[in-house]
Structure 1
Amino acid sequence: MKVNSGRGRKVCLVVTGVVIAIVLLIVILAMTVFKAKHPVNTVDSLRLQDLKVSLDIARLSVDLNVTLDVDVSVKNPNKVGFKYSDSSAQLNYRGQQVGEVPIPAGEISSDETKGFNLTLTIMADRLLSNSQVYSDVISGSLPLSTFVRMSGKVSILGFIKVHVVSSTTCDFAVNLSNRTVGHQECQYKTKL
Structure 2
Amino acid sequence: MSGHDRKTEHPLAPANTYPRSDEESNTSQSDEQLKRKKRIRLAMYIAAFAVFQTVVIVIFSLTVMKVKTPKLRLSSTAEFLKLNTSTSTGGSTQASPPFFDIRFITQVRVKNTNFGPYKYDSTNATFLYQGVTVGEFIIPKGKARMLSTKKVDVTVNLNSNAIKSTTSLGSELETGLLKLDSQAKLSGKVELMFVMKKKKSAQMNCTVSIHLSNRAFQDLSCK
Q: Say if 1:44 and 1:72, in contact at 8 Å, map to a contact too.
A: no
Q: Give the partner amino acid of 1:133.
A: L
Q: Give the partner amino acid of 1:160.
A: M
1:32 counterpart (42, 51, 63): 63
Shift of 1:65: 4.0
Q: Say if 2:124 and 2:137, in contact at 8 Å, map to a contact too.
A: yes
Over alpha carbons, which structure has the higher Rg? 2
1:44 counterpart (32, 55, 76): 76
1:80-135 CA distance string (max 9 Å, x none): 21000111221111222111111111101012222222111224302464621111
Of Structure 1 and Structure 2, which has the larger fraction of its residues in strand? 1
Partner Cα distance (2:218, 2:144) in 1: 27
The answer for unaligned runs of 5 or more in structure 1 is: 1-17, 188-192
Work out the percentage of aligned pairs sharing the same amino acid. Answer: 26
Distance 1:160 1:101, change over 3 A: same
Distance 1:98 1:89, change over 3 A: same
What corresponds to 2:92 in structure 1?
Answer: none
Distance 1:132 1:50, change over 3 A: same
Distance 1:78 1:138, change over 3 A: same
What corresponds to 2:105 in structure 1?
Answer: 69
Q: Give the partner amino acid of 2:63.
A: T
Q: Say if 2:143 and 2:150, in contact at 8 Å, map to a contact too.
A: no
The answer for unaligned runs of 5 or more in structure 2 is: 1-49, 90-94
Partner Cα distance (1:40, 1:105) in 2: 13
CA RMSD of aligned residues (A): 3.0
Answering whether residue 144 of structure 2 is matched by residue 108 of structure 1, we say yes
What corresponds to 1:125 in structure 2?
Answer: 161
Shift of 1:32: 2.6
Q: Give the partner amino acid of 1:34.
A: M
SS at 1:183 equivalent? strand
1:79 counterpart (115, 128, 133): 115
Partner Cα distance (2:59, 2:117) in 1: 19
What corresponds to 1:92 in structure 2?
Answer: 128
Q: Say if 1:79 and 1:110, in contact at 8 Å, map to a contact too.
A: yes
Distance 1:147 1:130, change over 3 A: farther
What corresponds to 1:11 in structure 2?
Answer: none
When normalised by structure 2's length, the TM-score is: 0.62
Q: Give the partner amino acid of 1:31.
A: L
Q: Say if 1:45 and 1:72, in contact at 8 Å, map to a contact too.
A: no
Q: Which moved more, 1:114-123 or 1:94-103?
A: 114-123
SS at 2:213 equivalent? coil
Distance 1:96 1:39, change over 3 A: same
What corresponds to 1:160 in structure 2?
Answer: 196
1:147 counterpart (173, 183, 203): 183
Q: Give the partner amino acid of 1:80.
A: G
Partner Cα distance (1:151, 1:177) in 2: 37
